[in-house]
């Protein structure tokens, strides 16, 4: 039976997408602001965990209060995979822009409501229950937030600048932490510790509402990404009736055809987020509760570290466009394995300069992951399943990483060994190393299922030439393989008496 060849049109200059700089800047600003608000809450929660422990779990001793407050932080991660599945499916079906507008509304309202919850002294057991419900609503919305934002930025970015543009997403995360920490310190300083425990801790959560309104306005004004719009246009040309309910998403296809991408995504997210939560969520509590620094003192050190991270973050993304994403994942993972224990010994030294140096080491390691994560993850999956696949793998991985503050606090309390968080990070470094060796390089390449994207026409010509050169090299490689197979076939034919005749 003769196979019918599917005719494939050659890629020409008309097929290269020219990205509008104004739309790109708006997309990055809107996506980063939503991400900043997400991490503003996480940052505030980590920095006021000691206060929340006293307000919502007043009957326990200080160590148990801390673990209980951090456990409330970790439990909503159980909900994130559900949110990821829900919003991921909708994002692949109806587009990225609509879903990002929905997630920021849910996130801002649930964060605002935390500030409204009365303490345990007023409503008893309902206080921690309501806190948990608000955190679960946050977890559900966040399940579609980061992945949607990273996809949005990646699909709007030129191929040669995707690392730099994507790095601004986690710049927003770090900025959200800085803002959250700064607000906590400012309010605590102004109202005093007693008033802060009584009512001042609520103010940072109230700020989520105006931030959410600004983020919603910016996101609602955005157009759909060029990559997703191209995907929809192709479907319309091939199957107009089948597009009435949006593109179809097959979870069977995600699990069977893209399992390599799922594994690479899981490993990278675990390595990044465990380091993230260890440094930026658990460390303030570690400094105050275990090392007995005042809350403000420990927070100020972390703020200084995070401000430094803001400057390093876009540099990592820029360099990854030149040298690739994998080198940064590999270097960060090796650094975790080798430097985690020395870093924590410096942190435990009781000398401010050495404490700062230890935290700075962990911060630079974290930057090597965050600088490339937002550009690496979306490139692992094709357009029609990108949101669903990435949201599923990401949030299952974050479910594991989200236990970090609780497990770290429990391990230290149980063993009385202040180096337990360092050993934890060393194990995660092994996970990151395996991921870096396993994942494929995606820098300067079009997203799967998308045509090349460029900043201007000159760059488009260069990209097209590189694309054609790449095809020529692949054809040459295939020709060599065919010649080797033909030679092998001839040898085998000569060894067979009947075929040889």
Query: What would the pLDDT profile of 113-156 be if each residue is shown by its tens digit?
Result: 988 988 777 888 788 788 888 888 888 888 888 888 888 888 88
Give me the pLDDT at residue 230, please: 76
* Model confidence band, residue 478 (pLDDT cutoffs 50, 70, 90): very high
Residue 370 belongs to some domain of the structure: yes
H or E segment and range at residue 454: strand 453-454
Q: What pTM does this model have?
A: 0.81
What mean pLDDT, rounded, does the chain reach?
Answer: 83
* Model confidence band, residue 240 (pLDDT cutoffs 50, 70, 90): very low
* Model confidence band, residue 67 (pLDDT cutoffs 50, 70, 90): low
Give me the pLDDT at residue 7, please: 61
Q: How far is it, in rounded angstroms, from Cα 185 to Cα 182? A: 5
Residue 448 belongs to some domain of the structure: yes
Kindly report the number of other CB atoms within 10 A of residue 217's CB atom. 13
Determine the 3-state secondary structure of 453 from DSSP: strand
Render pLDDT for 68-89 as a digit per residue (tens, 0 to 9).
666 666 667 778 888 888 888 8
Residue 330 belongs to some domain of the structure: yes
* Model confidence band, residue 32 (pLDDT cutoffs 50, 70, 90): confident
Same domain, 494 and 423: no
Q: How far is it, in rounded angstroms, from Cα 85 to Cα 90? A: 9
Give me the pLDDT at residue 296, please: 63
Render pLDDT for 282-335 as a digit per residue (tens, 0 to 9).
887 788 777 877 766 766 777 888 889 999 999 999 999 999 999 999 999 999
Same domain, 200 and 132: yes
Rounded mean pLDDT of 231-242?
Answer: 60
Same domain, 161 and 277: yes
Give me the pLDDT at residue 5, please: 53
Q: How far is it, in rounded angstroms, from Cα 314 to Cα 291? A: 32
The two tokens of residue 184 are 């906590």
Q: Which of 375, 379, 367 is nearest to 331 (CA)?
A: 367
Could you tell me what percent of the chain has a pLDDT over 70?
Answer: 88
Same domain, 313 and 164: yes
Residue 12 belongs to some domain of the structure: no
Instruction: Please check the confidence at residue 2 and state whether its pLDDT lies above 50.
Output: no
Render pLDDT for 181-207 as a digit per residue (tens, 0 to 9).
788 888 888 988 788 878 888 898 898
Instruction: Please check the confidence at residue 497 and state whether its pLDDT lies above 60.
Output: yes
Same domain, 158 and 79: yes
Distances (CA, A) of 215 to 26, 104, 154, 297: 11, 7, 19, 32
Domain of residue 121 covers 19-227+256-455
Residue 236 belongs to some domain of the structure: no
Give me the residue label for tokens 């949201």.
391
Residue 41 belongs to some domain of the structure: yes
Same domain, 126 and 39: yes
Instruction: Please check the confidence at residue 15 and state whether its pLDDT lies above 50.
Output: yes
Give me the residue label for tokens 């430094």.
308
Rounded mean pLDDT of 449-457?
Answer: 81
Same domain, 481 and 350: no
90-128 in b/e form (b: 16+ CB < 10 A) is bbbbbbbbbbbbbbbebbbbbbbbbbebebbeeeeeebb
Give me the pLDDT at residue 223, please: 79
Same domain, 421 and 465: no
* Model confidence band, residue 65 (pLDDT cutoffs 50, 70, 90): low
Choose from 282-296, 420-434, 450-464 the range with maximum mean pLDDT: 420-434
Distances (CA, A) of 284 to 47, 298, 369: 6, 6, 21
Q: What is the CATH number of the domain that holds 51?
A: 1.20.1250.20
Same domain, 334 and 469: no
Residue 239 belongs to some domain of the structure: no
Instruction: Please check the confidence at residue 343 and state whether its pLDDT lies above 90.
Output: yes
């Amino acid at each position: 039976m003769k196979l019918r060849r599917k005719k494939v049109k050659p890629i020409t200059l008309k097929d290269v997408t020219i990205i509008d700089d104004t739309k790109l800047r708006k997309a990055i600003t809107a996506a980063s602001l939503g991400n900043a608000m997400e991490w503003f809450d996480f940052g505030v929660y980590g920095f006021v965990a000691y206060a929340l422990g006293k307000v919502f779990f007043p009957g326990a001793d200080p160590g148990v209060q801390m673990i209980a407050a951090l456990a409330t932080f970790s439990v909503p991660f159980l909900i994130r995979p559900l949110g990821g599945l829900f919003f991921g499916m909708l994002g692949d079906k109806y587009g990225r822009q609509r879903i990002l507008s929905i997630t920021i509304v849910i996130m801002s309202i649930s964060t605002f409501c935390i500030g409204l919850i009365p303490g345990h002294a007023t409503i008893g057991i309902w206080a921690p229950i309501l806190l948990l419900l608000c955190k679960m609503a946050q977890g559900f919305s966040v399940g579609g937030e980061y992945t949607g934002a990273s996809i949005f930025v990646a699909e709007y970015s030129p191929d040669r600048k995707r690392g730099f543009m994507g790095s601004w997403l986690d710049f927003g995360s770090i900025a959200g932490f800085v803002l959250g920490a700064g607000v906590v310190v400012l309010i605590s300083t102004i109202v005093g510790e007693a008033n802060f425990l009584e009512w001042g801790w609520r103010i940072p959560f109230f700020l989520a509402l105006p931030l959410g309104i600004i983020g919603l306005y910016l996101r609602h004004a955005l157009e759909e990404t060029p990559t997703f719009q191209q995907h929809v246009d192709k479907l319309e040309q091939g199957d107009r009736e089948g597009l009435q309910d949006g593109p179809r998403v097959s979870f069977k296809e995600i699990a069977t055809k893209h399992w390599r991408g799922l594994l690479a995504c899981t490993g990278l997210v675990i390595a990044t987020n465990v380091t993230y939560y260890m440094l930026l969520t658990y460390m303030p509590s570690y400094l105050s509760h275990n090392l007995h620094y005042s809350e403000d003192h420990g927070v100020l050190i972390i703020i200084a570290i995070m401000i430094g991270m803001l400057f390093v973050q876009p540099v990592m993304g820029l360099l990854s466009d030149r040298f690739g994403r994998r080198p940064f994942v590999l270097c960060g993972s090796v650094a975790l394995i080798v430097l985690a224990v020395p870093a924590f010994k410096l942190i435990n030294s009781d000398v401010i300069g050495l404490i700062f140096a230890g935290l700075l080491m962990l911060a630079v390691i974290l930057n090597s992951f965050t600088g490339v994560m937002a550009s690496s993850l979306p490139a692992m999956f094709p357009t029609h399943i990108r949101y669903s696949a990435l949201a599923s793998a990401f949030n299952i991985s974050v479910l594991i990483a989200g236990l970090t503050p609780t497990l770290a606090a429990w391990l230290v309390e149980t063993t009385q060994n202040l180096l337990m968080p360092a050993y934890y990070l060393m194990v995660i470094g092994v996970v990151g190393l395996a991921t870096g060796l396993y994942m494929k390089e995606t820098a300067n390449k079009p997203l799967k299922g998308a045509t090349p994207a460029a900043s201007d026409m000159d760059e488009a010509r260069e990209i097209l030439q590189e694309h054609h050169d790449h095809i020529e090299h692949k054809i040459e490689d295939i020709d060599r393989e065919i010649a080797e197979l033909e030679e092998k076939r001839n040898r085998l034919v000569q060894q067979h008496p009947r075929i040889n005749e």
